[in-house]
Structure 1
Amino acid sequence: MPSSAAPEPSAAAVDPSPDQIRRWRRYLADEIAEGDIYRQIAARKDGAERDILLGLAEAERRHENHWRTLLGEHAEKTVRPSVHRILLRWLARIFGSVFVLALAQRAESDSPYAQDQDAAPGMAADEAIHEEVVRGLAARGREELAGNFRAAVFGANDGLVSNLALVMGIGATGVSNQVVLFTGIAGLLAGALSMGAGEFVSVRSQRELLDASSPTQITLDAARDLDLDQNELELVYLARGMDREDARHRAQERLGYFSCDCNPAFSARPDGSQGPVDRSAEHREIGNAWGAALSSFGFFSSGAIIPVLPYIFGLTGLTAVAVAALLVGLALLFTGGVVGLLSGASPLKRGVRQLLIGFGAAAVTYLLGLAFGTSVA
């Protein structure tokens, strides 16, 4: 990573303005907090990942020393870091997980150093590189979460939106509180079972398609019995995506015309390179069929029960509808924010997007319920 050595104090640094002192102190506090975050996460890791995190912490220490140099005696008075860094440090102590790395990625991307002339020339570049390093570290956790997490988030949001729309649509027709309650519970069970079954079939089918497309080692067993003049083995490698010259070379090697220093148990990749074809990474991204199904069932149920809660506790009419909408709105903001965190996007924007989509769908069914209702709720 680039090194940002602290420059000699300029005239501004010898007699800094009150605004500069406040700004530099905030930078210093943030750099100290970021270093602590990386060290706390590193304490829960080992191997290369731990070394990378400690390297980031050391880079933050260099930035910290830059601001200490500029502040001089003013560095003795410390200030609190930004709320974002305080939250990050607290989460790092408790979790040390991909959520914290995703938040750290956003923190690195929001560096103000590119617009601040008091920052050393390489500091903005350092922060940009730090973002990419953290992005790489977070990607490992995102891959592991991708399959089951996708099913969980989609399941929760589907439960929230579909059952809110169902409850509001039925409630707007003016039917009794008991009818709305049983309709909501029926919607919960039907949706959860459908989601769970659908996820199981989807994930299992994807994994079976991958397995069916994976090259086998049948060429090793059949090569010794092939007709040397009618070399169908060449067609195998053409089908895998090699050009004719590479396919002929590979087939002749299998037939024993010459030997190579490669491992004969390896398969040729479609691009012609040597190496084992590893489908495990693709399987991880898709997820486990049972895990996806259970996650989808459980999270759909947890989302779908929320619009029903006001009716379970005896609320009726517009009061029940308003409370259901409020509870679902808070849940949509939360799930959208979590998706934003993990994707490195703005949690607020993702949360508001989820909220608007959910309320839009519910509003349509509520208006339809009013249009076809027979009495006033």
Structure 2
Amino acid sequence: MSRESTFFSDTLPLGLVPKARGSRSNAAGRFERLARETFLDGWDSEAEARTLGTTTVDERPKKVITRNDSPDIPFDRSVNPYRGCEHGCSYCFARPSHAYLGLSPGLDFETRLTRKLGAAEVLARELAAKSYEVAPIAIGTNTDPYQPIEARDRIMRAILEVLRDHNHPVTITTKGTLIERDIDLLRPMAAKGLASVGMSVTSLGSRLSRQMEPRAPAPARRLKTIRALSEAGIPVRVMAAPMIPALTDHELEAILAAAAQHGARAAGYIMLRLPREVAPLFEEWLAAHVPDRAGRVMKRMRELHGGEVYDSRWGKRMTGEGEWAELMARRFDIALARSGLARKMPPLRTDLFAVPPRPGDQLSLF
């Protein structure tokens, strides 16, 4: 849908740039007919920065298991307890999903969140369906289940309790150290071969990480979480993701080595993805924080994707193609060998799955 406005600027002026947020603007989503324009009206000091709070709205979903058949993704179902993510990662590929809510993939994505109340109860109903066929459920594939509001809302924990009660396999992807709270649930599940965790580490540099991922735990803290999970017997795969060319790609080997030292068992990497609204938002971030590298980063992105900043083709969207992509793949192979990390995690068990009896159910005597 085309915009009705022919001239607009959604970039916040100096002084209105929000503190501790990954996006500098709040451009309307691609489905909106109107655009927003922000300007200084004389009431604000240009030296003043704004602190934007986080608001939540409630959704009571009718279903929570989302299916996919993408051939380059190793799972066919996922659950996301929240829409939007307060971590505010400037590069997040999930930002465009906020446009379906009539919200901006920019600041709205990290400040206007939706929590799925009753998600655990809905999940239990879906697992109890006679037609349900068990396979690992992936959590954290769109937005992080262990973002800050989970400490209060505990939706993810309730979901884990349902999966535990059903002996259902689960894989979790996060950069949130709040996952340590749920070790008491994950430890016995992992002992049965029912749980594994992927911890995302983009950079080992605390300053760069704080700029890119303003409300996510520091890299050193994430490494400590890898150790805590590993010592509890929960298998962890470090995800060096995204690797940003000309900015963080040189850290690939160091990230894998550090993760191995902290107990990770496997590793993977994904190249930076800039679908739809993410590209202009990330270019805006580059210009503000690393202007000397901005041109190099975007030039490399176009080299990876045949002259475009993004290629959505399966098998190409997460690796790119060409000489530089081949070099990254070769570096990853060598780093794996040196660190002793595996490429894949052992498969999770599905044979233990069973719907627990409800109060009043007749129990079998045999």
TM > 0.5: no
* TM-score, normalization by structure 1: 0.22
* TM-score, normalization by structure 2: 0.22
Structure with larger RCO (C-alpha < 8 A, sep 6+):
1
Instruction: Name the larger-Rg structure.
Output: 1
Higher helix share: 1
Higher strand share: 2
